[in-house]
Amino acid sequence: MSTDRIRPVTMPKWGIEMQEGTVTAWNVELGCHVDKGDALLDVETEKIVNSVESPASGTLRRILAPMHDTLPVGALIAVLSDPDVAEADIDAFVRDFKPFDASFAEDSPVAVTTPTAPAAPATPAVEATTDGGSEGEARVSPIAKRLAEKLGIDLSRVTGTGRNGRISKEDVEAYAASLQQAGSPAAAPAAAAGTAQPARREKLTSMRSTIARRLSESKRDIPHYRLVADLDMDALAGRRARLISSGLRISINDLLLHSIATALQQHPRLNAQFAGEELLQYDQVDLAVAVATPGGLVTPIVRDAANQSVQQIAAAVRDLAERARAGKLAREEITGGTFTVSSLGMFGVRQFDAIINPPQVAILAIGAMQERPVVLNGALAIGQQVTVSLSSDHRVVDGADAAGFLATLSEVVANVAGE
């Protein structure tokens, strides 16, 4: 059988940091014909869901990645073929397929779904040996093995629910919970760890896992330091009132974004990305704006914000936020930002600190606008203020650079021109 009549569909690689993807939907049923370029399935990776287009025309003969399955880049996720290709030839193709990442073949066995046979049930538990090349060890995830050792659990008694019976961290936790309910002495370590209380388990999505990984790396690898400033908002609040009275839909946050972009033009060292041995400083300000979504925090980007009007920024932020919450952002809309802004003012938070979004070198956290006592010309008065906290990467941003930016921002906000 000529293999040019059988065509693989593999987990694509979108961006240099992508390592794996999670299947969220199949748009074509087994046995159906697809044309090249048709939307074959949806894959969640990092902070967005992308549609995977069919790489060729043909009949969908195998699905090797059911919904909610997570596979590494390059893994075989489906097989297309001419309609008259024999099932035995498809089986041989799947068996002999070599993923882009050779380690995947050892570490992640795949289960095949066919049009004529139901998926095989989970394989009974296998014994985890200490031989790094053994089949048993390949069927136990490293984190599951470490957890089992910590809790004193015999992995040969744990039933794996992953592909070909692969034992995951969740399987070990479930087994530990069953021991606790049965009053087994083996549950003592888990109870000591505070897990005796029943808990609702929720598997992390690919987005949430990526967020956890990237923030952990940022906090661990980047020497953060923070500077705090209070911005006088009377002028900005007055400008917003005038814009609203003219029929425009403008928020304080929109005005602050415009002011931040204006200030960054004078401080390119903060409008930058750190690339190993180089600091890439940009003339164009591409503001990444943190947006909370059901799946986690995403940071869509307002391009060239310093050269946009407040109205344009407001419209862009509304559009990006709506599509972020609906999971409809394109990859290019969340990559390449030069500076990030995060605001919790709408929740009444006075001040907070944010974690830098690498490879950027700074992030500004914005609190709520509040009426506060201020001293004006030696007299006590009531003014509107916002507290901001600037987190900077001390490897490339000195304290004087960060302080200079905050001083410029304070001046821009206090002397904003009316419209």
Q: What percent of the chain has pLDDT over 70?
A: 82
The mean predicted confidence, pLDDT, of the chain is 82
CB 99 within 8 A of CB 113: no
Closest to 356 (Cα-Cα) out of 374, 368, 371, 338: 338
Residue 115 in this model has a pLDDT that exceeds 50: no
* Structure confidence at residue 121 as a pLDDT band (50, 70, 90): very low
pLDDT value, residue 110? 35
Question: How far is CA 115 from each of CA 11, 55, 90, rounded to the nearest angstrom?
Answer: 21, 21, 12
Taking residues 199-227, report their average pLDDT: 84
Locate 247 and state its tokens. Answer: 């029929």
pLDDT value, residue 17? 66
Residue 143 in this model has a pLDDT that exceeds 80: no
Residue 133 in this model has a pLDDT that exceeds 70: no
> Where do the CATH 3.30.559.10 domains begin and end in the chain?
223-414
State pLDDT tens for residues 347-364.
999 999 999 999 999 999
The DSSP secondary structure of 178-244, one letter per residue, reads HHHHHT-GGGHHHHHTT--S-----PPPHHHHHHHHHHHHHHHHS-EEEEEEEEE-HHHHHHHHHHH
pLDDT value, residue 419? 47
Residue 196 in this model has a pLDDT that exceeds 60: no
CB-side exposure of 365: number of CA atoms within 13 Å? 18
Position with higher pLDDT, 179 vs 190: 179
Taking residues 336-343, report their average pLDDT: 96
Residue 206 in this model has a pLDDT that exceeds 80: no
Residue 116 in this model has a pLDDT that exceeds 80: no
C-alpha radius of gyration, the chain, whole number: 27
Query: What fold is seen in the domain 3-107?
Result: OB fold (Dihydrolipoamide Acetyltransferase, E2P) (2.40.50)
pLDDT value, residue 276? 81
Query: What fold is seen in the domain 123-203?
Result: Dihydrolipoamide Transferase (4.10.320)
Least confident of 137-146, 210-219, 317-326, 406-415: 137-146
pLDDT value, residue 126? 37
State pLDDT tens for residues 245-295.
999 999 999 999 999 999 999 999 999 999 888 999 999 999 999 999 887
* Structure confidence at residue 398 as a pLDDT band (50, 70, 90): very high
Backbone angles phi, psi at 344, to 5 degrees: -120, 15
Position with higher pLDDT, 173 vs 261: 261
pLDDT value, residue 51? 82
Backbone angles phi, psi at 162, to 5 degrees: -85, -170
State pLDDT tens for residues 61-77.
999 988 888 888 889 99
**Within 265-398, where are the H helices?**
310-325
> Where do the CATH 4.10.320.10 domains begin and end in the chain?
123-203
pLDDT value, residue 158? 87
pLDDT value, residue 159? 84
Active site residues: 394
Distance CA 69, CA 123 (A): 17
* Structure confidence at residue 118 as a pLDDT band (50, 70, 90): very low
pLDDT value, residue 127? 38
Residue 119 in this model has a pLDDT that exceeds 70: no
State pLDDT tens for residues 94-110.
988 877 543 333 333 33
- State which of 19-28, 129-138, 194-203 shows the largest mean pLDDT: 19-28
> Where do the CATH 2.40.50.100 domains begin and end in the chain?
3-107
Query: What fold is seen in the domain 223-414?
Result: Chloramphenicol Acetyltransferase (3.30.559)
pLDDT value, residue 46? 66
Residue 401 in this model has a pLDDT that exceeds 50: yes
Q: Which residues, listed in sequence order, are joined to residue 197 by a DSSP beta bridge? A: none
pLDDT value, residue 153? 87
Taking residues 211-221, report their average pLDDT: 87
pLDDT value, residue 352? 96
Contacts of residue 243, Cβ cutoff 8 Å, sequence gap at least 6:
250, 310, 419
pLDDT value, residue 16? 64
